[in-house]
Amino acid sequence: MNRKRVSIKDIAQAAGVSHPTVSRALRGKGRMSDATRARILQIAEEMGYTPSLVARGLVTQRTESVGLVVADIADPFYSEIIKGVEQVTQASGFSLFLGSAIDDADQEVRMVRSFLGRHVDGLIVSSSLVGNGYQAILEDVGTPLVLINTHVDGSQFHSIYHQDFQGSQQMLRHLIQQGRRRIAYLGNRSAGRAQTERKRAWQTTLEQEGLPTDVTLDCPNSHIQSGFATLPRLLEQAQRIWGEMPDAIVAYNDLVAIGAMKALQRQGLRVPDDVAVMGFDDIEVAAFTSPTLSTWRQPRREMGVRAAEVLLTLLQEERDGEEPPQEIAFSGELVLRESA
């Protein structure tokens, strides 16, 4: 095996023309006699020619590829982001490099650097731990970057994000309206912007209502198991501080919420009668737990789609002059089911 790939030179020789002519024929550039064009295409087909995007990339300085970095490929939230990005890039003939960097800024940067070495035309980084730090890394090469759900103080980059604060706030308002008064927050230590915003909403909203905000604990990550394992300690905390159980728990996301719900049930507590539980994201399984999970729906897929669209648009514009980075905000919706 490992026969030599056929190149445009091979075709040129077989067709009795020069390689640039083959190149033009293949790409439909410049006018030429239909006869020779047809013949060249025919021969290329017969010889099983596949253009080398590597060589093409070297000369055109465009690889028609995009690099995507997420925190965790297996997290349903990121899965949908990836899916959205892939859908758009694939439709435009771009290839997608995927990398993960679980809660590790160094790893994230290494990933991006490696993509830059591969001359990706653009980058998408979700939940970046670096943010504007990319300014220094990217300014020399000018590769466009779109951030997803990353907090930046005066973003130098285009960014897509979901309005977590507003979402979380509405969830809290709903709980309060339902008469819940002792509302604990079960967070996620390793999340960046998302955790910050959601927790802040929890805190400020409760404070506005004069409700206590002293029972909260962060899971080490956002796995179901984490929520399950951490919840008992949250209850202990409530018992110690309040002298009684919480009547509602707001979780960082659906996974944590599902784990928490199971742990509550294990302790003989009824959801939502004894304690209400709310998640975040509205992953598919949220509608099928027992009780079904009330949560906040985040348009995950669309966010991926949009990020890719913004990036590809940037690539079209061929530096029409530096447009100011835009921030695109997505808002979700409250999904009330049985758990709250």
What residue ranges bind its own copies (CB under 8 A)? 1-3, 5-6, 48, 50-55, 57-58, 63, 65, 73-74, 76, 79-80, 82-83, 86, 90, 93, 95-100, 111, 113-119, 139-142, 223-225, 228, 258-259, 261-262, 265, 284-285, 287-290, 319, 322
Instruction: Report the residue number, 44 or 258, with the smaller CB distance to DNA.
Output: 44
Instruction: Report the residue number, 18 or 326, with the smaller CB distance to DNA.
Output: 18
DSSP 297: E
**Rounded Cα–Cα distance for residues 305 and 283 (Å):** 17
- Read off the tokens for 62: 């465009």
Q: How far is the CB of 101 from DNA (least distance, A)?
A: 24
Alpha-carbon distances, residue 63 vs 56, 111, 143, 169 (angstroms) = 8, 17, 12, 43
**Rounded Cα–Cα distance for residues 29 and 27 (Å):** 5
Q: How far is the CB of 260 from its own copies (least distance, A)?
A: 10
Q: How far is the CB of 69 from DNA (least distance, A)?
A: 23
Given its own copies, DNA, none, residue 303, with its beta carbon under 5 to 8 Å by kind, binds none
Given its own copies, DNA, none, residue 33, with its beta carbon under 5 to 8 Å by kind, binds DNA
Please report which helix (H) or strand (E) contains residue 330, including its range: strand 327-330
Given its own copies, DNA, none, residue 29, with its beta carbon under 5 to 8 Å by kind, binds DNA
Give me the residues that bind DNA (CB under 7 A), please: 4-5, 7-9, 16-21, 23-24, 26-27, 29-33, 36-37, 49, 51-52, 55-56, 58-61
Q: How far is the CB of 31 from its own copies (least distance, A)?
A: 26
Q: How far is the CB of 2 from its own copies (least distance, A)?
A: 3
Q: How far is the CB of 200 from its own copies (least distance, A)?
A: 28
Given its own copies, DNA, none, residue 319, with its beta carbon under 5 to 8 Å by kind, binds its own copies
Q: β-strands 327-330, 295-297: how paired? A: unpaired
Give me the amino acid identity at 18: S
Give me the amino acid identity at 1: M
DSSP 6: P
Instruction: Please name the residue that has the structure tokens 């009668």.
Output: 273
Given its own copies, DNA, none, residue 177, with its beta carbon under 5 to 8 Å by kind, binds none
Instruction: Report the residue number, 35 or 54, with the smaller CB distance to its own copies.
Output: 54
Instruction: Report the residue number, 8 or 251, with the smaller CB distance to DNA.
Output: 8
Q: How far is the CB of 203 from its own copies (least distance, A)?
A: 28
Instruction: Report the residue number, 139 or 333, with the smaller CB distance to its own copies.
Output: 139
Cβ pair 101, 48 in contact under 8 A: no
Instruction: Report the residue number, 55 or 287, with the smaller CB distance to DNA.
Output: 55
User: How would DSSP label each residue in 221-270?
Assistant: SS-HHHHHHHHHHHHHHHHHHTSS--SEEEESSHHHHHHHHHHHHHTT--
Given DNA, its own copies, none, residue 30, with its beta carbon under 5 to 8 Å by kind, binds DNA
User: How would DSSP label each residue in 49-108?
Assistant: ----HHHHHHHHS---EEEEEES-TTSHHHHHHHHHHHHHHHHTT-EEEEEE-TT-HHHH
**Rounded Cα–Cα distance for residues 277 and 267 (Å):** 15
